[in-house]
Chains A and B, each alone.
Chain A
Amino acid sequence: MDKRPDNETKDGKDAIARLFHVYKKIGANVVLEDITLDIKRNQFVFVSGPSGAGKTTLLSLLYLKEKATQGNIIMDGQNLSRIRHKQIPAFRRKLGIIFQDYKLIATKTAFENVSLVLEAAGAKKKMIHKKVNSILRSVGMEDKSQAYPLSLSGGEQQRIAFARAVVGDPEIIIADEPFGSLDQESADSILKLLNVYHARGATIILATHDKGLIKKRGGPVVFLNRGRIQRPVNHARGHREGDV
């Protein structure tokens, strides 16, 4: 991943997400200021920084929960400032989002929470059944497919949220503090799963304030502080210093 303007990816051809001088203001408060960066296809990128730095806001701009006040964001060739309301669902189906608070629907079973993505995409019932069961198996939740989220532990809920994020085979997985309230074992298991999908070709954008985890996993980091990109950081794993 490159931080621009000094070190953009060359003509951005291999970038899956490009941000150009992005600002986000909420009222008089500037939450993000002059964010310019490229994220390459199949990168595993961390977005880090202290609480209130703007990590969640930055991610929410990427999946269009919020719109940038100023600047342009191009995701997989689509300019998000020009996207039409009707195009948003199809755009979001390219993404897999893991939310900080899981956002599982309490009135739906684990299976139904995961199948929702495929139903929304108009998939056939038989295919939904097959794929959801396979994903639940891969995250070790097959036996709890009929359980409701509130009857599950935090780690189990996070695994369901992960299954929901990946069931549609997304090109980009956006994860907002996915290990926030998890014990070490659960966090490791989610990180392993993310690595598996990264190895399969997905681009992972992960927001976390856990420096230990970043060091452990390694990879490019976008460090935010008070809404601005602070400094390029890179932790081993074959990434050259200055990529971020």
Chain B
Amino acid sequence: MTISLKPALRDIRQNKFLNIVTVITIALSTVIVSSFLLFFLNMSAIATGWRQGIRMMAYLESDSGDENHRDLQKQISSMHGIYKVNFVSKEEAISRMRDRMGRQSYLFESIGANPLPDAFEIQVAPDLYEWEEMENLANRIASITHVEDVEYGQKWVGSFSSVFNVSRLAGYALAGIFFMASLFIVANTTRLLLYSRREEIEVIRLVGGADGFIKTPLYIESLIQGATGGIIGIGAVFLIYVFVSSSSMIQGLGFGLFELSFFSLKSLALVLLCAMSVGWMGCYISIKQHLRD
């Protein structure tokens, strides 16, 4: 191993330009793919946070009758995906409204009878992940006798989810394309490296060097390139993350108390491993073609 590490490090020193090109390529790919990954990680966390806070309001018909409220509450509570159901009488509803309107609450004085219906305030279980399930739940509640209408204010979260899912797919596709592109570039730089060393490789073979003796330093070199590119890429993404999370633009987007998060150590190790495997695979492809004979 040490006998292979030394020539690998020497080759890196001797072929600085090609190695720098390879490292930059891997670093750029790491930046692009990791940025996408970090974006989706945070968007996913935001979406999950929003979903957890989703409430539905089931408005009852005016003739629903007080005696039915308990049964209706039980019926709704027993449904899958319901976390909590509270009855909100029309009196409580108008009182809440008055509180919310503050100084404008005098407007209610001109209204005679309370126009608001009795309702159930329904808190959806956090594990109800798919937005379609949320819609189905709302439809099932709406079909219960005496329930006139169901509203869930954050309907736009559903639209967001759809857009998010589509863009996540696009992200995967882009990550795949960048992976292939960097693999192609790394394979080509390794090929150039092998080409520049073709005479040396021929001599090594002629003096009895086995393929492993030629390949091992190259593989070590590619892993070093991958790790260096990966570390530089992760470092750049971290700087971008620090810049974005502290910028006033993000604070003003209204994410509330939500804080943008960076990769966990496990994810960082995975990104690094991917960068190293890009280096290794690029090297493998070139070696397979170049040392075929």
Contacts of A92 in B (CB 8 A): 205-208
Bitwise, B202-240 to A at CB < 8 A (1) or not (0) is 111111111101000000000000000000000000000
A93-135 to B contact mask, C-beta < 8 Å, 1/0: 1010101000111011000000011011100010000000000
Contact of B208 among A90, A105, A107 (CB under 8 A): A90
Asked if A197 is at the interface of the complex by the 8 Å CB criterion, the answer is: no
B residues 158-201 touching A (CB-CB < 8 Å): 199-200
Determine whether A168 belongs to the interface, using a CB cutoff of 8 Å to chain B. Answer: yes
Interface SS of B by simple majority: helix
Chain B, 49-83, CB within 8 A of any chain A CB:
none
A27 at interface, CB cutoff 8 A: no
Tell me, yes or no, whether A65 is within 8 Å of chain B by CB: yes
Task: Decide if A55 is an interface residue (CB 8 Å cutoff).
Answer: no
- The answer on a CB contact under 8 Å between B206 and A116 is no
Q: Provide the residues of chain B in CB contact with A89, threshold 8 Å.
A: 205, 208-211, 213
Known: A119-B213, A120-B213. A97 touches B14 (CB 8 A): no
Bound Cα distance A97, B202 (Å): 13
CA of A89 to CA of B3 in the docked complex: distance in angstroms? 18
Once A119-B3, A120-B213, A125-B3 are accepted as A-B contacts, the answer to whether A97 and B206 lie under 8 Å apart by CB is yes
Which residue in chain B gives the minimum CB-CB distance to A119?
B3
Residue of chain B at shortest CB distance from A104: B203
Minimum Cβ distance to chain B for residue A10 (Å): 32
Segment 1-35 of B: residues with Cβ below 8 Å from A: 3, 14
**B14–A116 contact, CB under 8 A?**
no
A117–B208 Cα gap in the complex (Å)? 7
Interface size class of A (residues with CB under 8 A): 20 to 34
Report the Cα distance A117→B14, complex, angstroms: 21
Partner of A117, one of B200, B202, B207, B211: B207
Q: Which of B203, B210, B213 has a CB less than 8 Å from the CB of A105?
A: B203
The answer to whether A63 has its CB under 8 Å from any CB of chain B is yes
In the bound assembly, the distance between CA atoms of A120 and B204 in angstroms comes to: 8
Which of B202, B207, B210 is the one whose CB lies under 8 Å from A116? Answer: B207
Complex alpha-carbon distance, A93 and B209, angstroms: 8
Closest to A86 in B: B210
* Distance in Å: Cβ of A145 to nearest Cβ of chain B: 17
B293 CB to closest chain A CB (Å) equals 9
Q: Is A164 an interface residue (CB 8 A)?
A: yes
Assuming the contacts A105-B200, A107-B14, A125-B3, asked whether A120 and B209 have C-beta atoms less than 8 A apart, the reply is: yes
Contacts of B203 in A (CB 8 A): 103-105, 116
Residues of B within 8 A of A120 (CB): 204, 207-210, 213
- Distance in angstroms from B226 CB to nearest chain A CB is 24
Contacting pair A93 B208 (CB below 8 A):
yes
Known: A105-B200, A107-B14, A107-B200. A116 touches B209 (CB 8 A): yes
Check A103–B208 contact: CB distance below 8 A. Answer: no
> Is A116 a contact of B204 with CB atoms below 8 Å?
yes
**Least CB separation from A63: chain B residue:** B206
Contacts of A104 in B (CB 8 A): 203
Looking across the interface, which residue of chain A has its beta carbon closest to that of B2? A125
Contacts of A121 in B (CB 8 A): 208
Residue of B nearest to A97 (CB): B206
Residues in B neighbouring A125, C-beta threshold 8 A:
3
The answer to whether B3 and A105 touch across the interface, beta carbons within 8 angstroms, is no
Residue of B14, B204, B208 ringed by the most chain A CB atoms within 10 A: B208
Chain A: CB-nearest residue to B4: A119
CA distance A108 to B203 in the complex (A): 12
Specify the chain A residue showing the minimal Cβ separation from B214.
A120
Report chain A residues within 8 Å CB of B211.
89
CB distance from B284 to the nearest CB of A (A): 18
What is the distance, in angstroms, from B104's C-beta to the closest C-beta of chain A?
A: 84
With most chain A CB atoms within 10 A of its CB, the pick from B205, B207, B209, B213 is B207
Q: Nearest 10 CB-CB pairs, A to B?
A: A93-B208, A120-B209, A89-B210, A92-B208, A117-B207, A105-B200, A89-B208, A103-B203, A120-B208, A120-B213
Binding site for B on A (CB under 8 A): 63, 65, 86, 89-93, 95, 97, 99, 103-105, 107-108, 116-117, 119-121, 125, 164, 168
18 contacts between A and B (CB under 8 A): A63-B206, A86-B210, A89-B211, A92-B207, A93-B208, A97-B207, A103-B199, A103-B202, A103-B203, A107-B14, A116-B203, A116-B207, A116-B209, A119-B209, A120-B207, A120-B209, A120-B210, A164-B207
Known: A108-B200, A116-B209. 15 other contacts (CB 8 A): A63-B206, A86-B210, A89-B208, A92-B205, A92-B206, A93-B208, A103-B203, A104-B203, A105-B200, A107-B14, A107-B200, A117-B207, A120-B210, A164-B207, A168-B207
